[in-house]
Amino acid sequence: MIERESLIRRYCHSTTGVIGLVILAFVVVMAAFGPIIYPVDPWAMVARPLQWPLIDTDAPLGSDILGRDVLSGLVNGARVSLIIGVSATAAAVAIGVTIGALSGYFRGIMDDILMRLTEVFQTIPNFLFVIVLVAVFSPSVFTISAAIAVVSWPPVARLVRGQFLTLRQRAFVESCVVVGMSTPRIIFTQILPNCIAPVIVTSSIMVATAILIEAGLSFLGLGDPNMMSWGAMIGFGRQSLRTAWYLTLIPGVAIQLTVLSISFVGEALNDALNPRLG
């Protein structure tokens, strides 16, 4: 309990971390409860086309070229961005941790094979590879999340491998081997908990990157056609960029604030979990 309170106190020392956490909490609440509080179909034509914000109460943030409510798109887009960001990161972390743990613990031939596989994925341009995967398997929330996870796991694998190579030589691990503790138990109960802090920090940055990749895909027309997203809203608004620039500005600012808040939280977590680096 004391250690947890100390962690929270160190985190709160970061002003940007607190600001990022507040913004991120707002986005999460909007994604979770926004469609309930503001139950307007983001695809429905509810107002006059290209209506500017603060003119009509039926569309407080204005309407797009087809008369769809911008505020409804913003609220529903938050859910799509967070779902893809979190699910893609969770899958990438699971893959990366597994490969990194096996590589760092067993070393030898297994280490060589897994690291060569990691290097193959690292040499492929991430965004282009995601575009190919999504185009081949058809755009959907699942395929986009899976494609982002496929290109995102190598840095986690290398990070975990480095941690395992260091911790594998520690006395407490050697003593576990001597007393006959099973290999899975050593990996999951002794080594992995000691290298989870850098993984958490890296995961926060991966969520932000996944949100940006999804926005780029949706902007190019490769997002889920059944789900409104911030990237798709920017794509819809580019046709009216000169006459109705608010259509791209509003979702663009939402993406920027969300990504910045996640980055601030990641930096604050890094400082809180590694106080000696401060």
**Predicted confidence (pLDDT) per residue in 113-134, tens digit:** 999 999 999 888 889 999 999 9
Structural domains of the chain in order of their starting residue, each with its CATH number: 2-277 (1.10.3720.10)
Express each pLDDT in 152-195 by its tens digit: 999 999 999 999 888 888 888 888 888 888 888 888 888 888 88
Place 138 in a pLDDT band, splitting at 50, 70 and 90. Answer: confident
Place 98 in a pLDDT band, splitting at 50, 70 and 90. Answer: very high
Calculate the average pLDDT of the chain.
Answer: 88
pTM of the model: 0.88
Residue 220 has pLDDT above 60, yes or no: yes
Residue 257 has pLDDT above 50, yes or no: yes
Per-residue pLDDT, averaged over 85-94, amounts to 94
Cα of 178 vs its chain's centroid, Å: 40
- Long-range contacts formed by 122-125: CB under 8 A, 24+ apart: 122/154, 124/151
- Written as six digits, the tokens of 1 are 């309990």
Express each pLDDT in 22-52 by its tens digit: 999 999 999 999 888 888 889 988 888 888 8
Instruction: Please answer whether residues 81 and 216 qualify as being in contact, where contact means their C-beta atoms are separated by less than 8 angstroms.
Output: no
Per-residue pLDDT, averaged over 7-26, amounts to 88
Place 3 in a pLDDT band, splitting at 50, 70 and 90. Answer: low
Please report the pLDDT score of residue 2 as a whole number. Answer: 44
Express each pLDDT in 202-217 by its tens digit: 898 899 999 999 999 9
- Whole-number percent of the chain with pLDDT over 70: 97
Q: Which residues contact 121 (CB under 8 A, 6 or more apart)?
A: 150, 151, 153, 154
Q: How far is Cα 81 from Cα 273, in angstroms, rounded to an integer?
A: 27
Place 55 in a pLDDT band, splitting at 50, 70 and 90. Answer: confident
- Whole-number percent of the chain with pLDDT over 90: 44
Place 275 in a pLDDT band, splitting at 50, 70 and 90. Answer: low
Please report the pLDDT score of residue 193 as a whole number. Answer: 84
Backbone torsions φ then ψ of 142, nearest 5 degrees: -65, -50
Please report the pLDDT score of residue 5 as a whole number. Answer: 61
Place 270 in a pLDDT band, splitting at 50, 70 and 90. Answer: confident
Question: What one-letter code names the amino acid at 181?
Answer: M
Per-residue pLDDT, averaged over 87-105, amounts to 93
Please report the pLDDT score of residue 115 as a whole number. Answer: 92
